[in-house]
């Protein structure tokens, strides 16, 4: 029985000598029913590693497999230690199981080449699962198990799965190196999430060695364009997922798109749902007016004192959404939404924020037994948006006090999500309060200086290292640049953006393309309490916000297109009846539990819509 075992993949030109294989799971091990046996063989020539696996049906009878019948381990070092270790010796693993065209693009977290690429050269993969140690909580993505596509095995039939691993220099180089593989159809779309009425242009590149084969998409034969590529224009009529089947001779792959309602309709339905279903009007006075999480299965609000299900924290996003909606579309005709927002504002002042000191509590009842700096910027955003809507000086004053208290609590060492530096500074400037403006500017510059000094040596937060540490670093430096005009802050932001971009994939699937890797939020905020890849999770849009701000500053269309994909990437979390989900669990299975579902809880996802609202112009309604 040939079951070679290798424990290291180290590229000769890597000065850091990173081993890309984690040491707690075997590489290329097969899990299969007892009727099967398997062997694995490895070849290593210079920096190319070829793995070939043979799986045999030893039964005297046929055997039809399902997606989860067979699994092959692919244990990459995709986990978060300290940032210094993570940047040099850990990787982001971007997987595309596209049947005959399947590949993995691993990117070292710090961005230094060489990176690792894997391309399937024989066989077919249709999905992956994850196995992870839950004691490591949010800091370990786990071991990947690649699933061969379902097929029919004749008695004693052997199936071969083979792939090649090679070094590459980054996303562009990896994409270029795919041209070296006759098994790969390179598929890209200019839009993966479309609004109704929009069209997506899909570009397909066939292997140069075999261009006589016809490419067929959804039954339509394509003609090669002058540039040697193929183009298919997609325009669906109904909302939902579209899994476009692409055939190339006997080979098959796919491109997965999603059509969503126009943003105005999503916003209107969502805000209506919040008013009718997610605002508390019961007998418990402490919670009256609160926007709460919601169980889409059992059709009721969710509240426990546990941090991520309480009446504060990330749920603030629902109030921000409502305020932005009313700014954009006006109070007239939306009287119920305005009444609801006023009730929520009253709840916030009564239960969560000390108006005099600016202290933001973690839960209702002024409960600050769990101190959390993340809560401050969200409260500041909320009151700034209330100010922009109603022009009540009290709201702008509260927003400023919250920011002052944030910095008094050590905020200039922190990486806050959505700290409204530029927005608050601009609003204070409009009222001519030069003293307040000067005070804010000094604090913001000090914060920017601290982050410039830290650079890429990120401190651990609630997760050791993650996308929503790097995104705030970039966002804060960009905002300080906008406030000061000093280009060194823009230069510092570029360094952060290079690191941030590594979290995003390039696969032809709306779940994955320009969607940031996150893999713990389903446990902390969901009903199913499952760790595992969340594609999408709404904080992925923070990357889109950063890309958009950078694109607008630099007038760079390429970054603007990436921003648009990232921002739209969270929109499938919002449904036609106005309900929503906090996360989509993407893997086929997570520690044996079925994946590929939207979690039943609507919890904190409305920040994703808030980020998309920044993508549309403000409404000049009468105030």
357 and 237 housed in the same domain = no
For position 618, what pLDDT does the model report? 38
Q: Which residues contact 65 (CB under 8 A, 6 or more apart)?
A: 148, 150, 151, 152, 153
Q: How far is CA 451 from the centre of its chain?
A: 23
Asked whether residue 17 is domain-assigned, the answer is no
For position 273, what pLDDT does the model report? 98
Residue with tokens 């000061």: 484
Q: What percent of the chain has pLDDT over 90?
A: 95
Cβ–Cβ < 8 Å for 367, 302: no
174 and 253 housed in the same domain = no
Asked whether residue 2 is domain-assigned, the answer is no
Whether 619 shows a pLDDT value over 70: the answer reads: no
Asked whether residue 24 is domain-assigned, the answer is no
202 and 146 housed in the same domain = no
> 10 Å Cβ neighbour count for 176?
12
Q: At what angle do helices 606-613 and 541-554 cross, to 10 degrees?
A: 10
Q: Which two tokens stand for residue 535?
A: 């594609």
Nearest-Å Rg of the Cα atoms of the chain is 25
pLDDT tier at 540 (50, 70, 90 boundaries)? very high
Q: Which residues of 203-223 are buried (b: 16+ CB within 10 A; e: fewer)?
A: bbbbbeeeeeeebbbeeeebe
552 and 601 housed in the same domain = yes
Tell me if residue 488 falls in helix, strand or coil: helix
Whether 622 shows a pLDDT value over 60: the answer reads: no
Asked whether residue 78 is domain-assigned, the answer is yes
pLDDT tier at 207 (50, 70, 90 boundaries)? confident
Q: Which two tokens stand for residue 516?
A: 């940031």
Q: Measured in Å, how far apart are the chain's first and last C-alpha atoms?
A: 78
| Mean pLDDT calculated for residue range 332-352 | 98
Tell me if residue 58 falls in helix, strand or coil: coil
Closest Cα to residue 393, out of 381, 384, 405? 384
> H helices then E strands: how many in the chain?
15, 28
Q: What percent of the chain has pLDDT over 70?
A: 97
Can you give the residue range of the structural domain that contains 141?
A: 30-184
Q: How far apart are CA 411 and CA 333, in angstroms?
A: 40
Cβ–Cβ < 8 Å for 517, 553: no
For position 2, what pLDDT does the model report? 61
CATH of the domain at 40: 2.60.40
For position 211, what pLDDT does the model report? 64
Asked whether residue 367 is domain-assigned, the answer is yes
Q: How far apart are CA 476 and CA 479, in angstroms?
A: 5
246 and 280 housed in the same domain = no
Cβ–Cβ < 8 Å for 574, 580: yes
pLDDT digits (tens, 9 = 90+) for 554-611: 999 999 999 999 999 999 999 999 999 999 999 999 999 999 999 999 999 999 999 9
464 and 488 housed in the same domain = yes
Whether 77 shows a pLDDT value over 80: the answer reads: yes
> 10 Å Cβ neighbour count for 493?
27
What phi and psi, each to the nearest 5 degrees, are found at residue 370? Answer: -115, 110
pLDDT digits (tens, 9 = 90+) for 453-509: 999 999 999 999 999 999 999 999 999 999 999 999 999 999 999 999 999 999 999
Residue with tokens 């993407």: 586
253 and 234 housed in the same domain = yes
Asked whether residue 269 is domain-assigned, the answer is yes
293 and 348 housed in the same domain = yes
Asked whether residue 562 is domain-assigned, the answer is yes
For position 226, what pLDDT does the model report? 86
Last residue within a domain, chosen from 211, 226, 260:
260
Last residue within a domain, chosen from 165, 184, 203:
184
Whether 124 shows a pLDDT value over 80: the answer reads: yes
CATH of the domain at 374: 1.50.10.20
513 and 377 housed in the same domain = yes
Alpha-carbon torsion 67, 68, 72, 78, what sign? positive
pLDDT digits (tens, 9 = 90+) for 21-50: 999 999 999 999 999 999 999 999 999 999
Average pLDDT for the chain: 96
Asked whether residue 398 is domain-assigned, the answer is yes
106 and 248 housed in the same domain = no
519 and 416 housed in the same domain = yes
CATH of the domain at 231: 2.60.40.10
Q: How far apart are CA 27 and CA 452, in angstroms?
A: 40
pLDDT digits (tens, 9 = 90+) for 211-232: 667 899 999 999 999 888 999 9
Whether 106 shows a pLDDT value over 80: the answer reads: yes
Last residue within a domain, chosen from 238, 260, 282:
260
Counted domains in the chain = 3
| Mean pLDDT calculated for residue range 253-259 | 98
* HSE-CB of 163 using CA atoms within 13 angstroms: 25
Whether 617 shows a pLDDT value over 90: the answer reads: no
Cβ–Cβ < 8 Å for 276, 268: no
165 and 194 housed in the same domain = no
Task: Write the CA distances from 147 to 73, 431, 506, 592, integer angstroms.
Answer: 9, 60, 20, 13
Q: How far apart are CA 164 and CA 33, in angstroms?
A: 26
Q: Which residues contact 584 (CB under 8 A, 6 or more apart)?
A: 511, 534, 535, 536, 537, 572, 573, 597, 598, 599
Run of H or E including 94: strand 91-98
Closest Cα to residue 546, out of 492, 583, 605, 487? 492
The pTM (predicted TM-score) of the whole model is 0.96
């Amino acid at each position: 029985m040939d079951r070679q075992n290798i424990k290291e993949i180290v590229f000769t030109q890597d000065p850091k000598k990173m081993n890309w294989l984690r040491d707690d799971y075997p590489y290329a091990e097969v899990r299969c029913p007892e009727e099967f046996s398997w062997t694995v063989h490895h070849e290593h020539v210079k920096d190319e590693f070829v793995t070939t696996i043979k799986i045999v049906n030893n039964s005297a009878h046929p055997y039809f497999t399902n997606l989860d019948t067979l699994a092959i381990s692919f244990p990459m070092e995709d986990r978060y230690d300290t940032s210094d270790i993570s940047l040099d010796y850990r990787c982001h693993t971007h997987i595309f199981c596209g049947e005959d065209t399947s590949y993995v693009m691993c990117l070292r977290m710090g961005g230094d080449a060489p990176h690792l690429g894997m391309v399937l050269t024989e066989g077919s993969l249709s999905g992956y699962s994850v196995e992870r140690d839950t004691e490591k909580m949010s800091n370990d993505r786990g071991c990947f198990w690649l699933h061969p596509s379902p097929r029919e095995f004749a008695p004693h039939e052997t199936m071969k799965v083979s792939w090649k691993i090679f070094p590459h220099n980054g996303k562009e180089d990896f994409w270029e190196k795919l041209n070296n593989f006759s098994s790969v159809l390179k598929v890209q779309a200019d839009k993966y999430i479309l609004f109704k009425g929009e069209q997506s242009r899909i570009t397909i590149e066939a292997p140069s060695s075999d261009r006589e084969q016809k490419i067929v998409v959804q039954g339509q034969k394509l003609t090669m364009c002058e540039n040697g590529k193929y183009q298919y224009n997609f325009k669906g009529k109904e909302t939902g997922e579209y899994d476009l089947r692409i055939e190339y001779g006997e080979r098959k792959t796919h491109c997965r798109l999603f059509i969503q309602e126009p943003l105005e309709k999503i916003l209107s339905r969502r805000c209506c749902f919040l008013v009718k279903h997610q605002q508390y009007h019961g007998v418990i006075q402490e919670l009256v007016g609160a926007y709460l999480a919601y169980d889409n299965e059992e059709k009721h609000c969710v509240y426990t004192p546990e941090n991520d299900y309480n009446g504060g924290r990330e749920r603030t996003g629902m109030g921000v959404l409502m305020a932005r909606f009313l700014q954009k579309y006006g109070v007239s005709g939306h009287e119920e939404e305005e009444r609801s927002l006023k009730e929520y504002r009253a709840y916030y002042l009564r239960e969560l924020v000390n108006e005099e000191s600016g202290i933001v509590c973690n839960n209702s009842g002024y409960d600050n037994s769990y101190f959390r700096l993340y809560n401050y910027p969200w409260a500041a955003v909320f009151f700034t948006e209330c100010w922009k809507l109603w022009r009540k000086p009290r709201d702008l004053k509260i927003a400023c006090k919250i920011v002052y208290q944030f910095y008094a609590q050590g905020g200039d060492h922190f990486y806050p999500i959505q700290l409204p530096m530029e927005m608050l500074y601009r609003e204070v400037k409009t009222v001519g309060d030069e003293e307040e403006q000067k005070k804010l500017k000094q604090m913001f510059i000090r914060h920017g200086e601290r982050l410039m000094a830290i650079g890429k040596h990120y401190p651990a937060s609630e997760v050791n290292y993650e996308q929503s540490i790097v995104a705030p670093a970039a966002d804060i430096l960009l905002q300080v640049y906008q406030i000061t005009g000093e280009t060194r802050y823009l230069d510092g932001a570029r360094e952060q953006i290079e690191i941030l971009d590594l979290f995003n994939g390039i696969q032809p699937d709306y779940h994955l393309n320009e969607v940031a890797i996150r893999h713990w939020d389903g446990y902390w905020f969901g009903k199913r309490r499952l760790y595992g890849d969340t594609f999408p999770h709404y904080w992925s849009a923070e990357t889109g916000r950063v890309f958009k701000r950078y694109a607008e500053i630099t007038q760079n269309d390429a970054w603007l297109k990436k921003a648009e994909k990232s921002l739209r990437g969270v929109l499938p979390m919002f449904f036609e009846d106005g309900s929503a989900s906090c996360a989509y669990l993407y893997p086929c299975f997570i520690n044996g539990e079925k994946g590929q579902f939207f979690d039943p809880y609507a919890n904190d996802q409305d920040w994703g819509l808030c980020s998309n609202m920044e993508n549309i112009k403000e409404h000049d309604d009468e105030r």
